[in-house]
Structure 1
Amino acid sequence: MSILCVLALLCLMTLTHSAPLTCEEMLRPLDQVDLPRLEGRRALVAASLSHPPFMERLRQRETASVDFSSNSSESSISFRRSTRFDNVCHYGSYNISLQGSSFIFDNITTTFTHTSCDDCVLLSFDVESGKRQHFYLFSRRRQLETQEIQEFTAQVKCLNMPPPVVMDPTKELCPEESSSDAAAQTEEKAEGQTD
Structure 2
Amino acid sequence: MLLRGLVPLLLSLASLTSSAPLTCEQLTRPADQLDPGRFQGTWALVAGSMSYRPYLEKFSKGKGASVHFPSNQSETNISYSRGFLIDDKCHYSSSIMTLNGSSFTLDGIPASNSSGLFVQTSCPDCLIMSFTVESGNRTHFYLFSRRRELEQNEIQEFKEQVQCLQMPPPAMMDPTKELCPWPEEKLKNED
**TM-score under structure 2 length normalisation:** 0.87
Q: Given that residues 73 and 79 in structure 2 are in contact (C-alpha distance below 8 angstroms), is that contact kept between their aligned partners in structure 1?
A: no
Amino acid at match of 1:88: K
Gaps of 5+ in 1: 184-195
- Residue of structure 2 equivalent to 1:163: 169
How far apart are residue 32 of structure 1 and its match?
1.9
Amino acid at match of 1:53: P
Contact 1:70 / 1:76 at 8 angstroms: preserved in 2? no
Say if 1:67 and 1:80, in contact at 8 Å, map to a contact too.
yes
CA distance in 1, matches of 2:69, 2:87: 25
Deviation at 1:96, TM superposition (A): 2.3
Q: Which is further off, 129-138 or 87-96?
A: 87-96
Alignment partner of 1:73 is 2:74: yes
Conserved in 1, the CA contact under 8 Å of 2:47 and 2:173?
A: yes
Tell me: CA distance 1:8–1:181, structure 2 relative to 1, closer, same or farther (3 Å): closer
With over 3 angstroms needed to count, the CA separation of the structure-2 counterparts of 1:180 and 1:140, relative to structure 1, is: closer
Is 1:119–2:125 an aligned residue pair?
A: yes
Greater shift, 1-10 or 146-155, is seen at: 1-10
Report how far residue 4 of structure 1 moved.
4.1
CA 46–72 in structure 1, closer or farther in 2 if over 3 Å, else same:
closer
8 Å CA contact 2:36–2:73 kept in 1: the answer is: no
Question: CA offset at residue 129 of structure 1?
Answer: 2.6
SS in 2 for 1:32: coil
- Higher normalized helix content (fraction of residues): 1
Aligned residues between the structures: 183
Matches within 5 A, 1:59-70: 59-70=60-71
Deviation string, structure 1 residues 36-70 (Cα, Å, up to 9, x no partner) = 22111011011111111211111121111111134
- Give the equivalent residue in structure 1 for 2:145: 139
In structure 2, the CA distance between the partners of 1:22 and 1:60, relative to structure 1 (3 Å rule), is same
Per-residue deviation, residues 142-174 of structure 1 (Å, max 9, x unmatched): 111111111111111111111111111111111
What SS is found at the alignment partner of 1:96?
strand
- Contact 2:82–2:93 (CA under 8 A) maintained in structure 1: yes
Contact 1:39 / 1:69 at 8 angstroms: preserved in 2?
yes
1:14 aligns with 2:15: yes
Q: What amino acid is the match of 1:144? A: L
